[in-house]
Amino acid sequence: MPPTKKILVVDDEKEFLALIKSAFEIRGFAVVTADNAIDAGLALAVGLPDLILMDIKMPGINGIQACEAIRRNPVTKNVPIIIVSALSHESDMKKAQKVGVAGYFVKPVNLEELIKKIKEILTQ
C-alpha cells in the first residue's frame, strides 16, 4: 500500500477547511489545516507536506506573500502549491504564476477536478 500523502490546507474560512479536510481524508489523504499564514509556517516547521493548498485573501500575510516565503526557504521551496481562491482576476492568477504555483482554482471549486490535479502533481 502506498504511503499516505500529506496535504497542508491554508484558508481563513473555517467551513472550507472542514469541507476540504473531510473530502480529502475520505480519499485517503492526511490533512493538516491552518487558518492563516503564520500557522501555516508553524505547520511547515513541524513537518513537510507533499502539497499545499493556499488561499490568497487572508488577514495579515496573504497567500501570495506566504507562497513567496515558502519558495525562498530551501527546505520548503520544492513543495508544490495550488491556489484555491475566490479571486478570479487574471492579475491574481499572474501573481500566483510568478511565485511558481502548480495550479490555480477559483472558488467555489470543483472538488473532483481539484483532486484530479492533486493526484496528477503527486504522481510526478
d(CA 79, CA 75): 9
Q: Does domain 6-122 have CATH number 3.40.50.2300?
A: yes
Closest alpha carbon to 33 in 52, 57, 60, 50: 52
pLDDT > 70 fraction of the chain, expressed in percent and rounded: 98
pLDDT digits (tens, 9 = 90+) for 95-116: 999 999 999 999 999 999 999 9
Q: Is the pTM of this model over 0.85?
A: yes
Question: What's the pLDDT tens digit per position in 51-83?
Answer: 999 999 999 999 999 999 999 999 999 999 999
Cell matching residue 85: 481562491
Read off the pLDDT band of 2 (50, 70, 90): low
- pLDDT higher than threshold 80 for residue 34: yes
Cis-peptide, bond into residue 108, ω within 30° of zero: yes
Q: What are all long-range contacts of 88-95, with beta carbons under 8 Å and residues at least 24 apart?
A: 92/56, 95/64
Is the pLDDT confidence value at 1 over 60? no
Nearest to 101 by CA among 44, 51, 30: 51
> Who's near 120: CB < 8 A, 6+ residues apart?
none
Q: Residue ranges of the alpha helices (H) in the chain?
A: 14-26, 37-46, 63-72, 90-98, 111-122
pLDDT value of residue 124: 80
pLDDT exceeding 90 applies to what percent of the chain?
96
